[in-house]
Amino acid sequence: MTFRKYLVLAGITVCATAGDSLLARGMKQLGNINVSLHNLSALLLAILNPWVTAGILFLLAFFACYISALSWADLTYVLPATSLGYVLVALIARFGFHEVISPTRWLGIALIAAGVGFVAAGPSVTPSRQHLDSRGPSRDALSPQVKL
């Protein structure tokens, strides 16, 4: 994998973590308002909160990086490889928001981190897909034919 691809995976992890954390901070700042599609004024108030707005922007960047990664790697590689964000979210929740995290949750987070190590050791693309990608799109894929 190239350095650029590692940057995309890091962008997914950082943007998702930052986006979720900023959303949480903004929603905690708003208090106990009922945000739903049935309460549009509360929804608008939430979206206009600067922390929530920043969170939304980071999550948009996350989705841009995510679709970029899916264009060159399998879903079974991208999703687990970006699960490092769970570790970062837990650390931010514990030390930034002073949330209590049970030992069972820490164990689950450790298992996720170990799983990331197993996934990272494997190929990012299924071998049969690598072969097809190196040949380029087939003529049939470019011009579908209609049978009468």
The per-residue pLDDT of the chain, averaged, comes to 84
pLDDT score of 82: 80
Q: How far apart are CA 24 and CA 3, in angstroms?
A: 31
The Cα–Cα gap between 32 and 30 comes to: 7
Structural domain for 112, as ranges: 3-142
Total domains in the chain come to: 1
Answer yes or no: is 148 within a domain.
no
Domain for residue 103, yes or no?
yes
27 domain-assigned: yes
CA nearest to 80, candidates 49, 124, 46, 31:
124
Q: What is the three-class DSSP state of 11?
A: helix
Within-domain flag for 26: yes
**Residue 68 located in a structural domain:** yes
pLDDT classification of 146: cutoffs 50, 70, 90: very low
pLDDT band at 77 (very low <50, low <70, confident <90, very high): confident
Q: Is residue 21 included in any domain, yes or no? A: yes
pTM of the complete model? 0.76
Residue 76 belongs to a domain: yes
pLDDT at 147 over 80: no
For 31: left if phi > 0, alpha if psi spans -120 to 50, otherwise beta; the answer is: left
pLDDT at 132 over 90: no
pLDDT score recorded for residue 14 = 95
Whether 87 is in a domain gets the answer yes
Question: What percentage of the chain reaches a pLDDT higher than 70?
Answer: 86
Give the pLDDT of residue 38.
83
pLDDT of residue 1: 73
Instruction: Tell me the CB-side half-sphere exposure of residue 13, using CA atoms within 13 A.
Output: 19
pLDDT in tens, 27-46: 999 888 888 888 888 889 99
